Structure formats: C-alpha cells, structure tokens
Amino acid sequence: MTARKEIDDFLAVKRIAVIGVSRNAKDFTRSLFREFRRRDYDAIPVNPGMTDVEGVRCYANVQDIEPRVDAALVLTRAAMSERVVRECDAAGVRRVWLYRATGRGAVSPGALKLCQARGIPVVAGECPFMFFPGTQWPHRLHACCRKVFGTYPK
C-alpha cells in the first residue's frame, strides 16, 4: 500500500504531466485534468494523438515538455505504464502516480519495479480526488469507506 507521505509529496508539486488524458471530454481522465487545473496546478497534458486539451497545449511525450515537470500522473493502461515510466525517468521526472480506479489501471509490476530501481517515489493505485482538500462528497465517501476497511493510506 502507498504511504500517505508519497501522496502528500506528489500533491505538493505544482507542475505535473498528466499522461494519457483522453480525447473524450466526458472521460474520467479529463475530470482529473480539469480538477488539477482548477486547483491551480500547472497540469500539462500528454497524449500523442492530441495537440491541445481544453485550450492547453498537449505534448506527444513527457520528454518534449519544456520547462520539464517534476511529477507525472499516469492514466494509461497497465500495459503501457512501464514504457511511460521509462520516458518519465529519461525526462527527469522525480515523482510518479500510477492511477487506478478499477481493474489494474496504470499499475503494473514492471512500472513499480522500475520506479523502485530508479529511486522514483511512486503512488500506486490511488485516486487523487480522495486526497484533495475539500473534495466532493462521492470522493469523501470513498475515502471514508477505505478508512473503515483499513485500506486508506497512512
């Protein structure tokens, strides 16, 4: 289980890459992107199939972002996440969040092993909405349930 310190340290970084933002404006990845922007994060979208996301320049690869970002929220499929973490490492990204809502999400054994080997702190399988101050009630309820069942990060 991810420690709360990794979560808090990630959320303290204000310039992040959001890798795997969907073309679909109604997709949950877009909700996350919007929420980071709403909370005054300099959230930089990364998707090789797009040139902009809601008026923000979109990059094909995290290595193309200038100035570089210090953290990356990975919203891709697990099958892609090890490659994405390698790209993050090459770009000097020092914190990674492998998002998961259901299923495996972006979490993969290879990506986790690579983060560990490279000394990259990683949040594995959590949803940022649960940890934003003053988040909306469904996310607070989710966090409450996790606390009751002892699966909320400490």
> Which whole number is the average pLDDT over 20-42?
95
Dihedral sign (CA 130, 127, 136, 35):
positive
Give the DSSP H/E element, type plus range, for residue 96. Answer: strand 95-98
Please state which of the ranges 21-35, 48-62, 121-135, 138-152 shows the lowest mean pLDDT. 138-152
What pLDDT score was predicted for residue 103? 63
Please state which of the ranges 10-14, 98-102, 124-128 shows the lowest mean pLDDT. 98-102
What pLDDT score was predicted for residue 142? 81
Checking if the pLDDT of 1 tops 90, the result is no
65-79: pLDDT as tens digits: 999 999 999 999 999
Domain 4-148, CATH: 3.40.50.720
CA distances (Å), 69 to each of 39, 92, 110, in order? 17, 8, 22
Note if the pTM is more than 0.75: yes
Please state which of the ranges 13-22, 28-37, 138-147 shows the lowest mean pLDDT. 138-147
Pairing of strands 56-57, 71-74: unpaired
Please state which of the ranges 40-44, 75-79, 134-138 shows the lowest mean pLDDT. 134-138
What pLDDT score was predicted for residue 104? 72
Three-class DSSP category at 126: coil
Please state which of the ranges 21-30, 113-122, 125-134 shows the lowest mean pLDDT. 125-134
Checking if the pLDDT of 133 tops 90, the result is no
Q: Where are the domains of the chain?
A: 4-148
